[in-house]
Structure 1
């Protein structure tokens, strides 16, 4: 789970020119109160106070919260976790306010973390936090996980609710946790052949209002901790299939331990989100030598045995589809109070600084520090091929009734907003509005 995966992905996104088709913003960190919507406060406080020490000197708290082994204490642990969670919460806010059709946070997708326990390299479960935010304004959320490993933290969090339906690649479960167990060595054709009919039946039965897609890249061939044999083509086909459902989509990262392949995968799936196809030859960039010796985007499958026979896959698919038919159709949601929304306590000073700045005037340091790249690099003028630069989460209100018009003030929409007219749908023909998060700190 090396943080440089995010930097390498961002480098490919920039050098492929995908920034022109997306709005990139640098989200703020999640606060303790926001993370405490799922996690225990004493666990969060311990993450802030515990220091890296040898394993044989671990305190009782560190042992209790599983902060050892594959989840060691490290300097900046709390900062890293708050950045990851803040990105996912920011994406959920964009979808809730209908400012985006697709929102991406490749630093998220840490699906193993429990309420008061770290697990599987995951400290804060940003997936659960994001889904909780989405549930404020969406009746049903479909969580799809194409990571090699079971998303047990997410499944456990929503085990007793019918408002979130999870689909995980391995494991056990029934009804509102649809688990499809694969054996090692599964290839593109076999995986997609099960994925598409299962998702089709789930969507028809559950009728989700929004989809959260965890795009863990450890299911790719050659991953250090994965046992599957997918290529970017098969992995991307799953993303493309979800995209074509025309349902608001939150895309997250996840596992992936062969770093160069993770960056390849997520850059390719950023392109899929905006309806682009990338050339196979990688563009020169800061991490170009990491992709030696072929410097190509696509990866080849390994010459290993696929232990998933046709008979086995047909049997598994039939059982899963039978269970899906037992799911209540579009479970209704009773009237409920909506919690306070995120990002509404926006700093008025920041708003004034941004509004009053002119082209020949420098922005304050606290504004420029949030920028993804220097204004003179990469990012063209607002509106160039639809791309925008978004310095932080609260953004200008853009009324759908006036295409291309930007309000001169920083007013936030009142939630829940009315359904906009002429809102773009996620289709293969028309590019959706896509917002990607990025942070130089990861």
Structure 2
């Protein structure tokens, strides 16, 4: 039987902009939806397109501080440029643009709605592709993120007594989500990302494993520059997948950033749709109620390709290798020559790959020594194995 799915989307997304020179392009979401439409993925039986409701402030207060939200509201209505660096507002990463708080509450509401749909309305999968703001802290904007939609949505799940696993495959460490759940064993956070030694946000190392009851429930696999498809799949298969399977959460939340792709302008990983789709198929095979959010991605066509493939996999639809010609006509004037939806498996240059392989093997060994005895041991024992 096919899955019952929901795609969270709003026409209002197009009303907002971080600015012409900012790398975060809101229109990438509209481009992804357009590609889905041209493949017929917006009219699938059993798949609903659901509008974004705005999030209630009471939900925001489960993570964000009241003084921070007050400042967001104040700046939101100002017609003049504003900045408050105590709260991370008004710098190059986190500009204060007209309606930025409206934008943030709209997207966060979409992710909260996705969580509600899989727990209250019988949906198997809900995809809030505009979400994924994993850098926002309780009282500070960071990394293009003003509100942490994943944390807010997970908190609504915890209020229902559910256990949650959060997997982040964005190129950047999911630091804000890790921060929120660092001391609890009710949320397992797993982040596979480019190493913070030389990369924003400078966190996400193997020894960040949680504290108190949460010890062992924060998992990080930092990757060297030039990590390719095979190594990315290795990190997932040897760390993330066994931990997710052992933890066996009530709900799976995933951040599906496509800034891992080798043509992304801000990152140095060398992932393609080959490993991206491999991971998504394995996640779907777990048959755990699944809330997915979008995340990073600064080549707009990569974003459209990735999230269209994700939505296709969620709905069991096999898509062709090439983009529709009608979509190629759209992206051509934007300076994107790529006509391919799917990529062949990519291998990095030998020297780069050897360094990346050594690094990922060290990370896997460290995690198997520190994390596996806690998670695999605990839940295998509980299952009577």
Normalization by structure 2: what TM-score? 0.80
Structure with the larger helix share: 2
Gaps of 5+ in 1: 332-442
CA distance 1:151–1:72, shift in 2 (3 Å): same
- Where do 4+ consecutive residues of structure 1 move more than 6 Å? none
Q: Structure 1 CA distance, aligned partners of 2:335 and 2:311?
A: 19
The partner residue of 2:146 within 123, 129, 137 is 123
1:270 alignment partner in structure 2 = 311
- For residue 181 of structure 1, give the secondary structure of its aligned residue in structure 2: strand
Structure 2: segments with no counterpart, 5+ residues: 1-23, 194-203, 210-215, 381-385
Where does residue 367 of structure 1 map in the other structure? Answer: none
8 A Cα contact 2:114 2:291, kept in partner: yes
- How far apart, CA to CA, are the structure 1 residues paired with 2:248 and 2:218? 15
RMSD: 2.1
Contact 1:138 1:210 in 2 (8 A): no
Matches of 2:101 and 2:275, distance apart in 1: 35
Deviation at 1:144, TM superposition (A): 0.3
Match of residue 63, structure 1, among 79, 85, 105:
85
Q: Does 1:45 align with 2:88?
A: no
Structure 1, residues 358-397: CA drift from partner, whole Å, max 9, x if none? xxxxxxxxxxxxxxxxxxxxxxxxxxxxxxxxxxxxxxxx
Q: Residue 330 of structure 2 is aligned with which of 278, 287, 309? A: 287
Indicate the residue corresponding to 1:316 in structure 2. 363
In the alignment, is residue 29 of structure 1 matched against residue 54 of structure 2? yes
Q: Provide the rounded CA distance (Å) in 2 between the counterparts of 1:102 and 1:245.
A: 12
**Residue-by-residue CA offset, 1:20-51 (whole Å, 9 max, x unaligned):** 33211112111323322211122112112113
**Offset, 1:139:** 3.0
SS at match of 1:103: strand
Counterpart of 2:270 in structure 1 is 229
Q: State the Cα distance separating 1:182 from its structure 2 match.
A: 0.8
TM-score, normalization by structure 1: 0.70
CA distance in 2, matches of 1:204, 1:16: 32
Hey, what's the Cα distance between the residues in 2 that align with 1:217 and 1:156? Answer: 22
The aligned length equals: 326
* Contact 1:112 1:151 survives alignment (8 Å): yes
Q: Conserved in 1, the CA contact under 8 Å of 2:178 and 2:189?
A: yes
For structure 1, which segment, 188-197 or 320-329, has the greater mean C-alpha deviation from structure 2 after superposition?
320-329
Tell me, yes or no, if the aligned pair for 2:227 and 2:348 is still in contact at 8 Å: no
How much has 1:252 moved relative to structure 2? 0.6
Bigger RCO of structures 1 and 2 (CA < 8 A, at least 6 apart): 1
| 1:326 and 2:373 aligned | yes
Q: CA deviation at 1:288?
A: 4.0
SS at match of 1:293: coil
Deviation at 1:291, TM superposition (A): 7.1
Post-superposition Cα deviations, 1:217-262, rounded to whole Å, max 9, x if no partner, equal 1111111111100001111111111111111111110011111111
Deviation at 1:322, TM superposition (A): 2.3
**How many Å separate the matches in 1 of 2:356 and 2:105?**
43
The 2-side partners of 1:154 and 1:215 are apart by 14
Matched, 1:244 2:269: no
Secondary structure of the 2:69 match is helix
Distance in 2 (CA, whole Å) between partners of 1:138 and 1:306 is 43
Once the 2 structures are TM-superposed, how far is the Cα of residue 309 of structure 1 from its aligned partner?
4.5
Report SS of the residue matched to 2:188: strand
Maintained 8 Å contact 1:260/1:291: no
Q: Which moved more, 1:195-204 or 1:206-215?
A: 195-204
Name the CA distance, whole Å, in 1 between partners of 2:336 and 2:299: 13
- 8 Å contact from structure 2 (residues 191, 219) kept in 1: yes
* Residues 276 and 326 of structure 1: CA distance in aligned 2, closer, same or farther (over 3 Å): same
Shift of 1:137: 2.9
Contact 1:48-1:78 within 8 A present in 2 as well: yes
- In structure 1, C-alpha distance between the alignment counterparts of 2:188 and 2:371, rounded to whole Å: 11
Structure 1 Cα separation of the partners of residues 239 and 181 of structure 2:
20
Structure 1 or 2, whichever has the larger Rg, is 1
